[in-house]
Amino acid sequence: MALRPEPTAPFHSVQYALRVLETVAKYTGGVSEQQLARETGLPAGHLAHLLLMLRREEYVERTGDGGYVLGDGLALLAVGGDRKKALERKLQQSLTALRDRLGAAVYLSSYVDGEIRITQYADGPRTPKVNEWVDFRSAAHAMAIGKCLLTQLDHDDRRDHLSRHRTARLTSRTITNEKVLFSKLDAQPATVPVLDLQEYAVGTVCAAVPITAGRTVGSLALSLPVRHAHRLREAADTLNRHAAPMLLSMTLQ
């Protein structure tokens, strides 16, 4: 399966974060922010933002004299055979925190063996997940998650997917014309959240952003009842800002 060549903004943030982590790892006694800036070549403002994210994720810690060392969160992800479980716990904690921050159900998904798969999610009594009234695997054309995953596939892989899962009309807003759908997917900016405005289910709006680690095509998404549609754009922007920590955790697995 071929990926589209243009990287996402979260991808760039992760590359820079990995550069910071590699530099911090060289200094067991701690390294100053000024030294990090010199060695990584990152602007001070960008570096400060990355260090804040890395501290929040417990991948780096601040020393008493203001330097930085590797944190406990990084060590937990590196524990032998428990790495997969440690990553799942880390991602679930991040999803739960993001659910509470957004006041929305949130989802991690991936495209595996030609199918959409929701790998983890966080919902609650006040943030119910989407009712899967039509199998998600058959509704990529109508869902923010599905469309976000399809944007990361090349033309042939998209056609292969839709040859197996036809573009059925699920609501009056569903795009069923493949030419129109492909045109919208091609026009979707890599750094802008994909939206679903009651295309999958009447009464639900969704947003999704890409998180691609290596050859794993994935997305981070949220859903809201349509009565909260006025919050969707702001929530989607917040979701986009939190994609990088999720992607970083997956990259460090």
- Every domain of the chain and the residues it spans: 9-76, 81-251
Range picked from 65-69, 226-230, 240-244 for highest mean pLDDT? 226-230
Q: What are phi and psi of 28, to 5 degrees?
A: -65, -25
| Cα gap 87→72, rounded to integer Å | 13
Candidate from 39-48, 95-104, 120-129, 220-229 with smallest mean pLDDT? 39-48
Residue keyed to tokens 């903004």: 9
Residue 28: pLDDT band with limits 50, 70, 90: confident
Residue 199: pLDDT band with limits 50, 70, 90: very high
**Lateral strand order in the sheet of 115-122:** 115-122, 105-112, 217-225, 204-210, 194-197
Residue keyed to tokens 């976000």: 148
Q: What pLDDT is attached to residue 229?
A: 96
Q: What pLDDT is attached to residue 205?
A: 97
C-alpha torsion sign, points 223, 224, 230, 231: negative
What 3-state class would DSSP assign to 215? Answer: coil
| Cα gap 177→33, rounded to integer Å | 53
Q: What pLDDT is attached to residue 7?
A: 37
Tell me whether domains 9-76 and 81-251 share a fold. no
Report the mean per-residue pLDDT for the chain: 88
Mean pLDDT of all residues in 74-80: 61
pLDDT at 191 over 60: yes
Q: What pLDDT is attached to residue 10?
A: 57
Contact 239, 221 (CB under 8 A): yes
Q: What pLDDT is attached to residue 3?
A: 33
Q: What pLDDT is attached to residue 1?
A: 38
Q: What pLDDT is attached to residue 237?
A: 92
pLDDT at 116 over 70: yes
Range picked from 1-10, 81-90, 187-196 for highest mean pLDDT? 187-196
Q: 81-251: what CATH class?
A: alpha beta
pLDDT at 242 over 70: yes
> DSSP class of residue 147?
H
Q: What pLDDT is attached to residue 2?
A: 34
Mean pLDDT of all residues in 173-201: 94
Mean pLDDT of all residues in 71-90: 72
Q: What pLDDT is attached to residue 177?
A: 96
pLDDT at 117 over 90: yes
Q: What pLDDT is attached to residue 8?
A: 42
Q: 9-76: what CATH class?
A: mainly alpha
How many C-beta atoms lie closer than 10 Å to residue 177's C-beta? 10
Cα separation values, 220 from 50, 186, 245, Å: 20, 19, 11
